[in-house]
Every structure is written in structure tokens, then in C-alpha cells.
Amino acid sequence: MKTIPFGAALLFGPALAIGGDLEVTAYAGRSLPNYTQTFNYTPAPVSSISGVTIDQKGVFTLEAKGGLAVGAGAIWYFGRVVGLEARLDTVSANIAMAGARFDARAQLPLPLPALAVSVDLTGGTAELQRLKPLSLNLRLKTPGPVHLAVSGGVSYLPEFQATATEPIGLGVTGISRGQIQVTTVTLRAGTSAVQPGKEGRLGANAGAALHIGVAPHVALVAEARAFIFKKRRLLWSAAEAPSSALGKQLLDDLLRQLPAVEFSPTFFQATAGLSVTF
């Protein structure tokens, strides 16, 4: 222990006074979010138009895709194999959305033919702000220049934003000139805690790493780690209101029955980097 970075000195200064080794690590890799959800709804009945049947084909799907994971940590070993680790991880993820199809059919009085229409409800989007968990862990390692290390502890996830927009078929609002008029609306969902007042910011993390010494006090590091946090809920609202009274009624019915999107910010990451021991 000769020269200590300023930030690490502030964090570990009191402990360093009684001896030990300080290891600083930086790493980057791939996040592997563990999230997928499908949901559907039964289109609201249209009592004011007789002979109309409506149906949803397929389900709406949200699935998280991996993104870039980067981070840094500092470990103070107060024994040969036992240490205290503080780390900051930053993780991005992409969420893909798949829509459904809205089918409507009207059986008109004979001899008029039946009418049918299908509306493709694709084009939804979702965005997730980069997650930045802070963690404090207990770390254990095997001795030697090539060694294994495991660590785990508590993590704090600052509040983040997640949004989703999706076109939804409301229902049939009229029949005009031999065509069925179908009203659609774009819904927007935003994050909130599953339970009001309980944001679920505390979680846990655990991981394992392989260190390979390449020079005195310098090692290559490969690590796999998992983070677990409580769910967030995305609550739907209308991005725009329908113009007709029947459309507004259908929207109110839809918002009452459409299930919320529950997003779990639980993810895994695989990273590699470099560590320096002082």
C-alpha cells in the first residue's frame, strides 16, 4: 500500500490505518436482464351496436434484451482472504414490445353481407433508464496470484424511469358506408412502486470472479453477478382521449380492466476488467 486514489482513501481511510490491502477494479461487459411479460385484455362490449363481435388475436408482449454493463469497485482486505467491497454498477437494457391484432365483425340484417375488419396493433415502444445500483458486500477469496473470489451483500437502487406506449383497440364505434369504424387509442405506462410509499430500493447482489495475475499487483478479472430488486409497476393512462362519447366510455372501461405491467429490475451480468492492488 503506497499510493491510494483519493476517492478510495476517503472510503477506506480509517480501515487502512490498521493495515490491509486495497484492490481497485474496473470492468465492462453484457447485462442479461431476467424480464418478460405477456398480457391481454377482453375488448369492452359495445351494447349500443347490435350484431357486433370483437376479439383480440395474440397477446401483448414485453421482453428485456441485454445491454452494456460497466462499473467499478474497491475492496479492502482486512485479512488474507476476507474483505469489504464497495461497488457501483451501471446497466442498460432494451425492452422489445410486440402488439396484437384487433378483429371486429358485424352481422347485418339480411340480405346485407356481414362486415369484418382487422386492425394491426403493432408499433409499441418501451424505454428503460440505465440502472445504477450501489452495493456493499462481504468478499472472500482464495490465496495466490490466480484465485477465485465470491462476494455478496446489500444493494441500493436509486429511482429510475421506465415508460411504455402501446396502441390498443377500444371497440367498434359505428358502421358507416359499409365499413366498420374501429377506435384505437395509444396508452402510456410509467413506473411507480408496487406499493405506494415503498419504492423497493433495497435489494441484494451476489457474484463470483476469477482473478489471473499478469504483473505484480495487476490482474485480469472475469466476473458473473446477479442483482435482485423488488418489482416496479407501470400504470396505464391515455396518451390522448378519443373524440366521441362512446370512445371515451370504452376508454374508461379499458383502463379499469387493463392489467398493469409489472417490471422486475432483476438482472445478471457477465463482465471482464482489470484490478490493481495497492
**pLDDT tens readout for residues 105-161:** 888 777 778 888 888 888 788 888 889 999 999 999 999 999 999 999 999 998 888
Among 39-53, 143-157, 167-181, which range has the highest average pLDDT? 143-157
Contacts of 109 (CB under 8 A, 6+ apart): none
Would the pLDDT of 241 be above 90? Answer: no
Would the pLDDT of 73 be above 90? Answer: yes
Q: Read off the C-alpha cell for 95.
A: 425492452
Q: What is the per-residue pLDDT for 168?
A: 79
pLDDT digits (tens, 9 = 90+) for 228-238: 998 877 778 88
Among 19-33, 151-165, 183-197, 215-229, which range has the highest average pLDDT? 215-229
Query: Distance between CA 264 and CA 229 in Å, rounded?
Result: 7
φ and ψ of 207, to 5 deg: -165, 170
The mean pLDDT value for 191-217 works out to 80
Would the pLDDT of 223 be above 70? Answer: yes
DSSP per residue, 62-92 = EEEE--EEEEEEEEEESSSSEEEEEEEEEE-
Mean pLDDT of the chain, nearest integer: 82
Torsion sign across C-alpha atoms 158, 199, 86, 132 = negative
Query: Distance between CA 146 and CA 127 in Å, rounded?
Result: 41
Would the pLDDT of 39 be above 80? Answer: no
* More reliable by pLDDT, 277 or 45: 277
The mean pLDDT value for 169-174 works out to 77
pLDDT digits (tens, 9 = 90+) for 83-111: 999 999 999 888 888 888 888 888 877 77
CA–CA–CA angle 151, 153, 156 (5° rounding): 130
* More reliable by pLDDT, 230 or 261: 230
The mean pLDDT value for 231-250 works out to 79
Q: What is the per-residue pLDDT for 178?
A: 76
Alpha-carbon distances, residue 164 vs 24, 189, 237 (angstroms): 38, 5, 10
CA–CA–CA angle 32, 148, 157 (5° rounding): 40
The candidate with the shortest Cα–Cα distance to 39, out of 82, 100, 91, is: 100
